[in-house]
């Protein structure tokens, strides 16, 4: 079963979660290309998350990325405070 990580609060109209993929990948020495090759996640998906860390991603994608980075999936997710502004929902990866 594949679930989506819900990053958008419809009532407030803002994203409530942010994916820390770019920061963590760079810390572990991965470029977008090398992360795509190692994880099996498409390069375009990784670039979309790098450019917009408020995107929806599936738990399958999140798990592949976390496993490749040697961390638990929740470590890729940052919960934003309620006053966070300027975030936009995006399509699924």
Q: Are 32 and 39 in contact (CB under 8 A)?
A: no
The conformation of residue 80, written as its DSSP 8-state character, comes to: P
Residues 12-69 have pLDDT tens digits of 555 678 899 999 999 999 999 999 999 999 999 999 999 999 888 899 999 999 999 9
Would you say residue 73 has pLDDT above 80? yes
From residue 84, how far is each of 13, 50, 77 by CA, in Å?
10, 19, 15
Q: What is the pLDDT of residue 21?
A: 96
Separation in Å, CA 32 to CA 49, 80, 84: 10, 24, 27
Domains of the chain: 4-79 (1.10.260.40)
- What DSSP element (H or E) covers 19? strand 17-19
Decide: helix, strand or coil at residue 53.
coil
């Amino acid at each position: 079963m594949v679930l989506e990580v819900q990053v958008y609060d419809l009532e407030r109209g803002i994203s409530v979660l942010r994916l820390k993929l770019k920061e963590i990948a760079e810390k572990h020495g991965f470029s977008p290309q090398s992360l795509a090759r190692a994880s099996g996640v498409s390069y375009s998906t990784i670039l979309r998350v790098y450019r917009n860390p408020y995107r929806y991603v599936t738990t399958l994608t999140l798990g592949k990325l976390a496993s490749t980075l040697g961390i638990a999936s929740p470590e890729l997710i940052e919960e934003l405070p309620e006053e966070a502004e300027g975030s936009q929902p995006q399509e699924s990866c």
